[in-house]
Structure 1
Amino acid sequence: MSIKGGITGRSQGGKSRVKTARGRSTSSVRWLERQLNDPYVKAAKAAGYRSRAAFKLAELDDRFGLLKGASRVVDLGCAPGGWCQIVKERRPKARVVGVDILEVEPLPGVELILGDIRDPVTAERIRASLDGKADLVISDMAANTVGHKQTDHLRTMGLIEAGLELAEEILEPGGSFVAKVLAGGADSQLLARLKQRFRSVKHAKPPASRKDSSEWYVIAQDFRPETADCP
């Protein structure tokens, strides 16, 4: 098997290895080897999913029943579209709106919006596309890292908060919100807010998440509109 810029071979253990090539860093070699040997990458390709991340949503749905009865779903940070594929596979008749700052190749039955969810214009387009309240808001958004742990954490929390603010506006009572967080889960302030607005808040790491990844997911279910808040 050949790859542009180098050649792969087989190690004694049956795993693919990437031969070092000019202009390729050691980290790039490690990344390529991990991709070549990742069973989820191979399974996603075989199933026609756009990313291995599709299995993360599938596993979370299997555990928490997120898509059960869902008729309107919003996918924040949807590129390249793996999560939207799972939603349409499991809820073919659901209205699905995918949003990202990156261009996404068209997906059958999915309305795609190019924009930043923090932009009021984008938020209004989402509301208009839903034509009603959402049953589920899912977010696999992640801020670009800069290598500074505290800064990266704050940037990621900012995205989660933006996603939650939108979810609070568009969710149907009883709806759910799912978002990617970093190791340790949501911070105390965000967690308190989630617990105030949802009756059930849990953290989970689906099997499809790489063991060395710091990502977790917060699963908030049974949304309570502000007027229904209680102590």
Structure 2
Amino acid sequence: MSGGKSGGDGAGTSGRGARELKTRVKTAKGRRLSSTRWLERQLNDPYVQRAKREGYRGRAAFKLLEIEEKHPFLRTGACIVDLGCAPGGWLQVAAKKVNADGHKPNRPRGRILGIDLQEVAPLPGCELLQMDFLEEGADEAVKAALGGEADAVLSDMAASSSGHRATDHLRIMALCEAAAWFATEVLKTGGAFLAKTLQGGSEADLLAMLKTNFATVRHIKPPSSRKDSAEMYVLATGFRGRGDAPAEVEDPEAGPLG
């Protein structure tokens, strides 16, 4: 929804037509103030508006686009597993990048396997599994559906917010670690792993595992990630299996870390 209709049509002598207008959401009876603020932020978020214009299912699509633009790892013809894929923004981006949707008829066609607890509406070139990835046996079910190795494993999984930052951090790190271990079991040599994390102090074990298994590990804060959010992404590339030399690690603000 555009904010251009708030308070009039934005034309006339007031000058309002020359600057962006914000959509104001009235606090309806029974709606919590926090919900109203969230809705107002969504309506005025330029990435939400852009996602609607460009046909993406969510603003998260731009996070993957920005990460891929700076650190390309999705190649035409690749096989991708997307954990926590609802509503499908990352699926849309990945499907085009690897040509899973067949929009490049003379190029190798990739494959996308998306997994989520929620039902996801079908997308061209994407195979979808509705399941809880953390349930016992779920990883084996995904491996069976995959039927081989993957070039990249993506995870934008997130637990429902508890409102307690430390608890939310531990929950999302548990999801990230589960996805990372799964990645080490299905990736081809040279493969990549991308996952959402939250800053909070318990990342050491995950980073140690990734540094053992991948040639390079980067911390990334894409421009579309809200500045007031503790959200970060970790991108590990050059999968080599367990037990080799330490990886090179980079943070989002500086060069390689020692």
Aligned equivalents of 2:7, 2:54: Cα separation in 1: 24
- The separation in 2 between residues aligned to 1:181 and 1:116, in whole angstroms, is 19
Partner of 1:50: 57
Instruction: Mark the CA change 1:188 to 1:19 in structure 2 (over 3 Å): closer, same or farther.
Output: same
Provide structure 2 residue ranges, at least 5 long, that are not aligned to the other structure: 9-15, 100-108, 247-258
Structure 2 Cα separation of the partners of residues 211 and 10 of structure 1: 28
5 Å matches for 1:4-15? Answer: 9-10=6-7, 14-15=21-22
Corresponding residue to 2:46 among 39, 44, 52: 39
The more displaced of 20-29 and 180-189 is 180-189
Query: Which secondary structure does the structure 2 equivalent of 1:99 belong to?
Result: strand
The separation in 2 between residues aligned to 1:120 and 1:138, in whole angstroms, is 20
SS at match of 1:129: helix
Q: Is the 8 A contact 2:23 2:44 kept in 1?
A: yes
- Match in the other structure for 1:5: none
In the alignment, what sits opposite 2:89? 82
Aligned partner of 1:215 in structure 2 is 231
Q: 1:196 aligns with which of 205, 212, 220?
A: 212
Higher gyration radius (CA): 2
TM-score by length of 1: 0.90
Q: Distance in 2 between matches of 1:178 and 1:24?
A: 36
Tell me which of 118, 143, 148 is aligned to 1:127: 143
Higher relative helix content? 1
SS at match of 1:209: coil
Q: C-alpha distance in 2, partners of 1:176/1:42?
A: 30
Distance 2:35 2:163 in 1: 17
Give the whole-Å Cα distance in 2 for the aligned partners of 1:51 and 1:113. Answer: 19
- Contact 2:83 2:154 survives alignment (8 Å): yes
Give 1:9 deviation, angstroms. 3.3
Q: Which amino acid aligns with 1:22?
A: K
Cα displacement (A) at 1:19: 1.9
Structure 1: tracts of 5 or more residues without a match? 2-7
- The runs of at least 4 consecutive aligned structure 1 residues that moved more than 3 Å come to 8-13
